[in-house]
Amino acid sequence: MVSPDRLNAETIIAKKRDGGELSEKEIRYFIENFTQGRIPDYQASAWCMAIFQRGMSQQETIALTRAMAESGETIDLSDTLDYVVDKHSSGGVGDKTTLVVLPLVAAMGVPVAKMSGRGLAYTGGTLDKLESIRGFNVHLSPEQFKTRAAEYGIVLAGQTHELAPADGMLYALRDVTGTVSSKPLIASSIMSKKIAAGADGIVLDVKTGSGAFMRTIDDAVDLARLMVQIGEGTGKDVTAIISDMNQPLGHAVGNALEVREAVETMQGSGPADFVEHCVMIAGQMVRLAGKSYELDLSDIDTELRTRLTNGDALAMFRRMVEAQGGDLRQLDDLNLLPQAPVRRELKAPHAGYIREVDARGVGLATLDLGAGRRKKGERIDHAVGVIVHQKVGDHVDAGDPLFTIHARKEEHASQVAIDLATCIEWADRPGLPLFYDVISTR
């Protein structure tokens, strides 16, 4: 480790605040000392804010990723498995893709080993969702992670003190300090976990739109390119998909509600947009592992759709839940998953077409209900959330349901109902308009 006499946190923060380029040595110093508890949260938060404001060069981002990946153990799966794939989303609303895609890919005969995160800002996290299942253990040691991957062909865990701990610690700070949507911080967060977890192939689901951290397609493409470059530099096969997050994915937003929708999808009754999304992400994972030769997945499309709904994917999901201590009775009877005591339906005030369902607004409403965190380490409520009944382009009649709010208390439902009403934009015809305005001199 670099001697603390020569470097210190304050000067590194100030250098970044003033727009300077940090050396690899400075970045390593900061990450190592933060991980060991020698740099406190308030300095790490200030550093994140400086990076958020000033950005990082590609070189700095690669150095940060490496330092975070090496802040704990890195797992080598190559002695037990030939080719392991992983996926990661840049964060969305209603994004329960991992819950379906991991077992689907495993059901296609490709081993999957994934390190996931918790909710971040107004987006949900896979670990929080899975913890809706009583007993499900996301805290696996590197040894357990490896053994589960080899024995079951499927494993999903969170950061521990051993695996990419720097990301776990920074992630929890970024979640509550307004420093999430920064390309270098997202890229290093995602790729450090991927490198530490040892997969050979990685599919990145980079979201763009109102509910994504990258609002524009250009920003999403930049983030995707950055992560692909990091992957290349570390010997990983990486495919990035830029996907829409202008409306929530599927219908369910909230931890247990999303587990329910994921299981229903594997039982054959998933929302159409979510099914398409899962088939695409799973297909690209399987393609990386050499089971498909077509970029459009036409050679494996039928098999993917069959395994998604014929019980194969669900059997794999059950296998993972059982192996990680989860209560299978909650999957056999979905009503045993946590349920919120208050349900409030919001109805359409008039007929029309849905032009927009603001994904960010729905995410924030869900956060207000208690499904995510406002403070570091806060307990979350697995039962609460929102069901979004309509998708963009749908026609609704007056009185049709728009949202069902699942709340802990009546007053929470009342507040969130006001906010959700503003999340819908109406149109008098289906789909998005081609033109918004004409501005002319005559």
Task: Reduce the DSSP state of residue 430 to 3 states and report it.
Answer: coil
Binding segment (CB under 6 A) for ligand URA, from list 37-45, 156-164, 183-191, 217-225: 183-191
Helix (H, G, I), strand (E, B) or coil at 347: strand
- Look up residue 223 and give its two tokens: 């983030």
Q: Does 179 bind ligand URA (CB under 6 A)?
A: no
Q: To 10 degrees, what angle do helices 312-323 and 255-266 make?
A: 140
C-beta of 182: minimal distance to ligand URA in Å?
8
Q: Starting at the edge strand that comes first in sequence, how are the strands of the sheet with 85-89 ordered?
A: 154-157, 112-115, 85-89, 201-208, 237-244
- Which residues in 304-343 contact ligand URA (CB under 6 A)? none
Binding footprint of ligand URA, residue count (CB under 6 A)? 8
Element (H, E) at 193: helix 183-197
Q: Is 189 a catalytic residue?
A: yes
Annotated active-site residue 174? The verdict is: yes
Distance CA(275)–CA(281), nearest Å, equals: 10
Instruction: Answer yes or no whether residue 227 interacts with ligand URA by CB under 6 A.
Output: no
Instruction: Give the C-alpha distances (Å, rounded to integers) separating 358 from 120, 248, 362, 395.
Output: 18, 8, 6, 17
Show the CA angle centred on residue 3, arms to residues 2 and 9, nearest 5°: 85
120 belongs to the binding site for ligand URA (CB under 6 A): yes
Residue closer to ligand URA by CB (options 183, 344) is: 183
Active site residue 350: no
With respect to ligand URA, which residue has the nearer C-beta, 185 or 423?
A: 185
Q: How far apart are CA 99 and CA 317, in angstroms?
A: 8
Asked if 199 interacts with ligand URA (CB under 6 A), we say no
The distance of closest approach from Cβ of residue 374 to ligand URA in the complex, given in angstroms and rounded to an integer, is: 18
Q: By CB under 6 A, is residue 189 in contact with ligand URA?
A: yes
Can residue 190 be called a binding residue for ligand URA (CB under 6 A)?
yes
Which residue from 72, 117, 231, 372 is in contact with ligand URA, where contact means CB under 6 A? Answer: 117
Cα angle at 412 between 411 and 417, to 5 degrees? 100
Considering only residues 75 to 104 of the shown chain, the ones binding ligand URA according to CB under 6 A are: 90-91
Residue nearer to ligand URA on the CB measure, 206 or 266: 206
Nearer to ligand URA, 97 or 189 (CB): 189
Q: Is 193 a catalytic residue?
A: yes
CB-nearer residue toward ligand URA: 88 or 287: 88
Segment near ligand URA (CB under 6 A); pick from 72-80, 182-190, 348-356, 395-403: 182-190
Q: Is 127 helix (H, G, I), strand (E, B) or coil?
A: helix
Of the candidates 87, 96, 193, 318, the residue annotated as catalytic is 193
Phi and psi torsions of 127, nearest 5°: -65, -45
Sites for ligand URA among residues 32-71 (CB under 6 A): none
Which residues, including other chains, have CB under 8 Å from residue 136's CB and lie 6 or more apart? Answer: 130, 321, 324, 325, 326, 327
- Chain residues binding ligand URA by CB under 6 A are 90-91, 117, 120, 185-186, 189-190
Residues assigned a catalytic role: 88, 167, 174, 189, 193
